[in-house]
Structure 1
Amino acid sequence: MGHVMQVYLGDKAQLEGVIGSKDEALLSRLLDAAATEDAVDPKIFRAIIDGGPFDEDDADEYTAAMYSICSILGGQSIDSVVFHFRSCPDIADIFYDWAFEDLLPPPEGSGCAIWTKENNAEELAERTADTGTDVNDGGEGDEVDDEIHWMNESLLAGKDLIFFWGV
């Protein structure tokens, strides 16, 4: 069975700042959006905005809520990747990072990882120097791998990369 990972450009600090923000206006926006999508239970959004209490049994729901919050805060979807762990070992490394460690309980069947724009710029420079890859070749010649493409998009937009899976 394949897995789907959504790749977004967004703002790590803004997304983390929602947790415990007590922002009632944002909560209202989230609840209005959730009412039309039939997705996240309102109590999950409330717990995130209030900063708890969090129930570990709802950990995957918190991931789904953060996915919705990312979109509502203006996160831009740049890719959707279907993969198998065995055939994409590099992508599997993303799954060991929980973006909201110490803020939300870690999920079991879903998740989120964040690569900061600063780290993306450093990593992109290293990888393109090592391989001689031209990220601006428009697909001509050697194909640019997904991660290099995502890091370049992050650099161009000045945004962090946010990965969601299992949502």
Structure 2
Amino acid sequence: MVARSLFDFLDICSTKYSERDAFVFGDTHLSYSYFLGVVNRLANGLSSLHLQKGDRLALMLPNLPQFPIAYYALLKLGLVVVPINVMFRENDIRYILADASVKGFIAWGGFGRYLQNAARDLPDCRHHIFLGSPANDGQSANTYAGGIDLTALISTPARRAARC
């Protein structure tokens, strides 16, 4: 099987190296098979948003396992990933969201205030998905498309690293 996309490459690696580490973050090790399973679950949840292949979704996530999971889930659905630097604030974010004509975003909850203010005047940017800490709007940030709690999926990985 020849990889035609990054997601295909992940699928192939998951078959060939299912129990090998795909990602290591601190003491948490995510095997290829576990990682692919979480990616598929998020992609299935996101599919309920009825986005079309080629639609753009922004990602504003810190360097945590949630970033590659969300990234690969978007790739699986044929969506275009628009990364946003976590150091950007409202004006920069608004420019990127408008310029890329994004349909929504997946962001770390701590950035919620900046993203919601930036997207306020953008009617096409209607899907706001927050991970991690509160979205600063009084509601839980752990609400996801399809009811998938990505933070819970990551906090209970299939395998933990042994300390040397």
Pick the TM interval, shorter chain.
Answer: under 0.3
TM-score, length basis structure 1: 0.27
Please tell me whether Structure 1 or Structure 2 has the larger radius of gyration of its CA atoms. 1
TM norm structure 2: 0.28
Higher relative contact order (CA 8 A, sep 6+): 1
